[in-house]
Amino acid sequence: MDKILRIDMGADGGPRATVEEMGEFAGLGGRAMTSLIVAKEVDPACHPLGAGNKLVFAPGMLTGSAASTSGRISVGCKSPLTGGIKESNAGGQAGQALARLGYRAVIVEGKPAGDDLWTILVNKDGVSFKVANDLRMKGTYDTVEKLKGEHGDKVTFMVIGQAGEMMLGGASIQACDRELHPTRAMGRGGVGAVMGSKKIKAFILDETGTKTRQPADEARFKAAATTFNEGLRRHGVSGQGLPSFGTNVLTNILNEAGAYPTNNFQGGRFEGHEKISGETQAAVMTERGGQATHACHRGCIIQCSGIYNDATGKYLSKQAEYETVWSHGGNCGISDLDIIQELDRMDDDFGLDTIETGVAIGVAMEGGLLPFGDGEGAIKVLAEVGKGSPLGRIIGSGAGITGKAFGVERVPVVKNQALPAYDPRAVQGMGVTYATTPMGADHTAGYAVATNILKVGGFVDPLLPAGQMELSRNLQIATAAIDSTGMCLFIAFPILDQPDTFDALVELINGFFDINLTAADVTALGKRVLEAEREFNARAGFTAADDRLPEFFEKEPVAPHNVTFTVTHEELDKVFAW
Amino acid sequence: MAHYSAADAPWRELNDALQQGVWLRALTPTSLLTFLTEQLDLGWEYVRDRVETVFLDGMVVDDLEHSVVRDGSTVTLSAAMPGLVGATLRRDGFYKAMRAEISWSTTHADEERAAAPAPGLVRVKLFNLILKEVGPRLLARGVFLDHAAALDLVGRMTDDPAAHADDDRFVVVDAHDAAREGPR
């Protein structure tokens, strides 16, 4: 039976859990669930770290079912980084565990009066709370090891590190992969700081005694699953490219396109790209006895992750993703893969968003703290976050704060959130989404989600000048809907290219809930989510002036193509004029 | 420039070289489609179905037939890539308008292609699945490396590069002389 778990951390006598019916949120999942709950229950004017903010976890609509690649979990709140609404999502096992336990959402509210740190155990018997001050200022790896000692290895965890406890703007919540490594980050927007503000160090999710969520129409669901899985395996991106090289396969391509931001967005090409590419990374992982093909959660057949061992063959971290390799690599002038993987490990351990942190270090390099290319120096700077030093707190608070602290003009943020790994001057359509998404600069806010098939917003001619605005709008609508299903965005290409795979996805949902969803319904859901998010931000004080890229993108041409961002403010303001 | 025949080369070291780009003899100017199918001898179906992301001199190519490979050009080949940017950079993809500023222009292509072909050198970069599938074949026919890349490669293959100064696998040649020999 689907239900909502509400946890009041500020209740008299200590934290208290209650269970509610789904009510108006029935049938929702993922981003639709988190954003609509936050929009309804959180005062947009509240302080993000105060008792008035809420942290909402929600598995996707299909998470916990037998549908492949459907295990993602979303978390939402008012962001301490952007000051607006936030949804961040991750793979790993947490989403499946929560879903199998029957919780479609967990709403954490209030704030404890004291300074105790808590762990929260959720299992089939209910919810229990424990003071866990012995975990204070421990990294996520140590935290998980200690909790494994208490709870065994048949459970999974969502934890914060030192950054979350210090309530820094770059703090993440780390979910665990199948091997219980805390490597799957709900990274963006400082969601870990909100968990820290509520004094929660860890959730222990024990799915023992639960079963896979069963579809309402088993035959319909199974038939769709067979077609869907075959479609994922058949496509070159999901069936070969991603399993072979991971997302870092993009490094060479973005570099060749001149859209690979280098040395804090000073250039578009990086000389050492081949040393840190997905092709090289996969070869190194294989040579050292790691895994170049690995699923971050049970039941994913794309398997874009990997296991990266150090030079001695000992586990170091998961295969760092493209955005991480870029933020700590080319963005900082660093071409040493082992150093980048070490920085990735440290980010996961301290509980930090790798994009925000890498960009913050790049900004600090431009500000003169250390030279571009200084890998050992970057490790030392990042270590300061774990120590909680003043420098570490600045870096851990994100690129915007770091830019102010070091007097840097070129600070690549939108709504105070760091830009990901694609230069918007070279790929201008991406810049439109960076500027206008309610989330702050986010490469996953307008994904390549079959807008042509969905006919979101009717047919769009992408070659017309207005096409870029419409494409970005339609991509954002479609992405908001897909983010609600629990499906990984890497299903995008098979459903884009293969109509039978797209139909199978819709049938998966229809078979699971015994409904007859149409493309128009998907579009309506995406619009409903975006409208709620935009309205929240407006009530939080955001205006059109916040839907802009930093000025330097309009003024500084980027090599090798020597282009600036030329989309006008008037055009940007049309993106959400539907 | 150094000339290297890679019959017994360690694949791992050559991976980097192919990502950075290796030089091949070619008859130029020629259309990119002709270069791929006739001079690189890639099958048309392979080019159509597999080589979905193509760059010519750093610009994204949509029309293989009407793009011109010149002496000294760089041709980069990749399979389809994930993500919105992957979709955006894709050859003739639905989202190509999102990167109009970096797309290869075919405006003067026809008059350029009309010039008589002559021996030249073209740099080829291979990424991801194309690297795996085409790389060995390319190396087997012999490639040229930039001097710095060749030295880097030799350095990574041995602890004592100087000891290989007379190694007949590594031959220093003049690029223009090599080019005049014509395509192999």
Please write the tens of the pLDDT for every residue from A509-551: 999 999 998 878 888 888 999 999 999 999 999 999 999 999 9
User: For residue B162, what pLDDT is reported?
Assistant: 59
Question: Are B105 and B56 within 8 A, CB to CB?
Answer: no
Examine the pLDDT at A91 and tell me if it is beyond 60.
yes
Cis, bond preceding A560 (omega within 30 deg of 0): yes
8 Å CB contact of A256 and B76: yes
Question: Are B14 and B134 within 8 A, CB to CB?
Answer: no
Phi, psi of A229 (to 5 degrees): -60, -40
Cis, bond preceding A44 (omega within 30 deg of 0): no
Nearest-5° angle of CA A188, CA A173, CA A323?
40
8 Å CB contact of B58 and A427: no
- The verdict on B178 touching A (C-beta cutoff 8 Å) is no
Which residue intervals of A257-301 are DSSP H helices?
278-287
Contacts for B114-117: CB closer than 8 Å, 24+ residues apart: B115/B29, B117/B27, B117/B28, B117/B29, B117/B30
Q: Using one digit for the tens of pLDDT, what is the confidence trace for A429-454?
A: 888 889 999 999 988 877 655 454 44
Question: Are A185 and A191 within 8 A, CB to CB?
Answer: no
Mutate to test the interface with B, among A427, A443, A444 (most CBs of B within 10 A): A427
Task: State chain A's mean pLDDT as an integer.
Answer: 93
CA distance A67 to chain B (A): 21
Mutate to test the interface with B, among A250, A255, A566 (most CBs of B within 10 A): A250
Phi, psi of A35 (to 5 degrees): -70, -40
Question: Are A532 and A35 within 8 A, CB to CB?
Answer: yes
What is the number of CB-based contacts under 8 A between chain A and chain B?
155
User: For residue A471, what pLDDT is reported?
Assistant: 78
A368 vs A502, more confident: A368
CA distance B121 to chain A (A): 19
Examine the pLDDT at A483 and tell me if it is beyond 90.
no
With H, G, I as helix, E, B as strand and everything else as coil, classify residue A415.
coil
User: For residue A523, what pLDDT is reported?
Assistant: 81
- The verdict on A254 touching B (C-beta cutoff 8 Å) is yes
8 Å CB contact of A242 and B99: no
8 Å CB contact of A277 and B58: no
B154 vs A14, more confident: A14
Q: Which of B15, B60, B80 sits opposite A280 (nearest CB)?
A: B15
Q: Looking up tokens 């979709």, which residue turns up?
A: B87
8 Å CB contact of A236 and B50: yes
Q: What is the SS3 assignment for A106-174?
A: EEEECCCCCCCCEEEEEECCEEEEEECHHHCCCCHHHHHHHHHHHHCCCCEEEECCHHHHCCCCCECEE
The secondary structure of chain B in percent helix, strand, coil, rounded to multiples of 5, reads 40, 20, 35
- The verdict on B105 touching A (C-beta cutoff 8 Å) is no
What confidence category does residue A350 fall into, taking pLDDT thresholds of 50, 70 and 90?
very high
- The verdict on A250 touching B (C-beta cutoff 8 Å) is yes
Print burial letters for A236-256: b (CB count within 10 Å at least 16), e (below 16). Answer: bbbbbbbbbbbbbbbbbbbbb
What confidence category does residue A241 fall into, taking pLDDT thresholds of 50, 70 and 90?
confident
8 Å CB contact of A493 and B52: no
Examine the pLDDT at A275 and tell me if it is beyond 70.
yes
Mean pLDDT over B87-110 rounds to 82
B144 vs A469, more confident: B144
Question: Are A206 and A154 within 8 A, CB to CB?
Answer: yes
* Of A216, A15, A244, A185, residue with least CA distance to A109: A15
- The verdict on A311 touching B (C-beta cutoff 8 Å) is no
8 Å CB contact of A249 and B100: no
pTM attached to this predicted model: 0.92
Question: Are A72 and A89 within 8 A, CB to CB?
Answer: yes
Q: Using one digit for the tens of pLDDT, what is the confidence trace for A414-428?
A: 999 999 999 999 888
| Strand B118-126, strand B22-28: pairing | antiparallel
What confidence category does residue B184 fall into, taking pLDDT thresholds of 50, 70 and 90?
very low
CA distance A268 to chain B (A): 11
- The verdict on B58 touching A (C-beta cutoff 8 Å) is yes
Q: Which of B53, B60, B99 sits opposite A429 (nearest CB)?
A: B99
What confidence category does residue B11 fall into, taking pLDDT thresholds of 50, 70 and 90?
low
User: For residue A457, what pLDDT is reported?
Assistant: 47
User: For residue B172, what pLDDT is reported?
Assistant: 54
**Residues paired with A159 in a beta bridge:** A174, A202
Task: State chain B's mean pLDDT as an integer.
Answer: 82
Instruction: Enter the ipTM.
Output: 0.84
Burial class (CB in 10 A: 0-12, 13-18, 19+), B74: middle
Examine the pLDDT at B173 and tell me if it is beyond 80.
no
Q: What is the dihedral of CA A200, A345, A423, B127, to 10 degrees?
A: -140
8 Å CB contact of B55 and A467: no
8 Å CB contact of A256 and B98: no
Say how many Å lie between the first and final Cα of chain A, rounded. 37
For the record, the structure tokens of A67 come out as: 């549908």
Examine the pLDDT at A179 and tell me if it is beyond 80.
yes
| Strand B74-78, strand B53-56: pairing | antiparallel
Question: Are A482 and A494 within 8 A, CB to CB?
Answer: no
Q: What is the dihedral of CA B139, B142, B143, B144, to 10 degrees?
A: 140
B184 vs B44, more confident: B44
Query: Between helices A467-482 and A519-539, what is the axis angle to 10°?
Result: 100
Examine the pLDDT at A278 and tell me if it is beyond 50.
yes
Q: Which of B82, B98, B101 sits opposite A493 (nearest CB)?
A: B82
Q: Which of B19, B55, B80 sits opposite A279 (nearest CB)?
A: B19
For the record, the structure tokens of A271 come out as: 């000389």
Q: Measured on CA atoms in the order A121, A123, A127, A128, is the torsion positive or negative?
A: negative
Which residue intervals of B5-66 are DSSP H helices?
11-20, 32-34, 44-49
Q: How many Å separate Cα A510 from the centre of its chain?
A: 26
* Of A416, A419, A410, A431, residue with least CA distance to A566: A431
User: For residue A462, what pLDDT is reported?
Assistant: 44
